[in-house]
Amino acid sequence: MTNSNRNIPADKELVQQVLDGNLHAYTLLIRHTERLVAQIVFKMISNPEDRKDIAQDIFLKIHRKLPTFSFQSKLSTWVAQVSYNTCLDYLRKKKLLLPGDGPEGNEADDDGWFVNKFFSGSPEVAVDTMIHKKELTAILKTAISKLPPVYHTLISLYHQEEMSYEEIGQITGLPDGTVKNYLFRARKMLKNELLVTYKKDDL
């Protein structure tokens, strides 16, 4: 851990500083949660211009609702909950709770995270002997972008952010069993998409 990380205030201290009007503390809060917010917005919202507006709206809501944060969860979990609900409200208003239109070109390049975690041990995808990791990662990113926004987000939170079922449930308001069921459906949809789009011998 770096010295700068040691100097980051704990959640309660940081929140209190923000509530006391400390602008530097609010800047810190944004800095340490912007990646998580971006992950959710990029997975749920396909229009780049809308993403910018929604991200700004999320941080305004975080600042406005911060006095209601009761520390019953981690601050990052609460921030993710605000982000998820804001995106969900947008999708409902636009009637866009359908599969996404395409991959997000500005996503961080996490080569191999799907390969190493998502399809670990899968006989259908013999990664090490049949295809390069970067190529498979690109294939998987294209396939996952076709999932419904909620499935897309759950996959990201579980596999990329490494959140537990309980944490994801707190963010989405879904019971643990529903989170597990949705993740199972998302994986099945991904597998079917890959097998339809690419010949099994190619994978």
- Structure tokens that stand for 148 in this block: 């419904």
In angstroms, how far is CA 183 from the centroid of its own chain? 13
- Structure tokens that stand for 62 in this block: 């975080």
Instruction: Report pLDDT for 4.
Output: 41
Instruction: Report pLDDT for 202.
Output: 53
Q: Does the pTM exceed 0.75?
A: no
| Span(s) in the chain for CATH 1.10.1740.10 | 3-94
Mean pLDDT (whole number) for 114-134? 46
**CATH number 1.10.10.10 given to 113-202:** yes
Instruction: Report pLDDT for 18.
Output: 92
| Span(s) in the chain for CATH 1.10.10.10 | 113-202
Q: 141: pLDDT confidence band, cut at 50, 70 and 90?
A: confident
Average pLDDT value for the chain: 77
Residue 175 per-residue DSSP state: -
Mean pLDDT (whole number) for 71-91? 91
pLDDT in tens, 58-77: 999 999 999 999 888 889 99
Q: Percentage of the chain surpassing pLDDT 90?
A: 33
Does position 99 have pLDDT exceeding 70, yes or no? no
Between the CA atoms of 166, 76, 39 and 58, what dihedral angle is there, to the nearest 10 degrees? Answer: 120
Instruction: Report pLDDT for 59.
Output: 94
Q: Percentage of the chain surpassing pLDDT 70?
A: 71
Instruction: Report pLDDT for 40.
Output: 92
Burial class of residue 119 (count of CB atoms within 10 Å of its CB; 0-12, 13-18, 19+): buried
Q: 144: pLDDT confidence band, cut at 50, 70 and 90?
A: confident
Instruction: Report pLDDT for 198.
Output: 65
Q: 96: pLDDT confidence band, cut at 50, 70 and 90?
A: low
Instruction: Report pLDDT for 72.
Output: 85
Instruction: Give 169's contacts (C-beta < 8 A, 6+ positions apart).
Output: 175, 176, 178, 179
Instruction: Report pLDDT for 201.
Output: 46
Instruction: Give 39's contacts (C-beta < 8 A, 6+ positions apart).
Output: 156, 157, 160, 161
Q: What CATH number belongs to 3-94?
A: 1.10.1740.10
Phi, psi of 181 (to 5 degrees): -65, -45
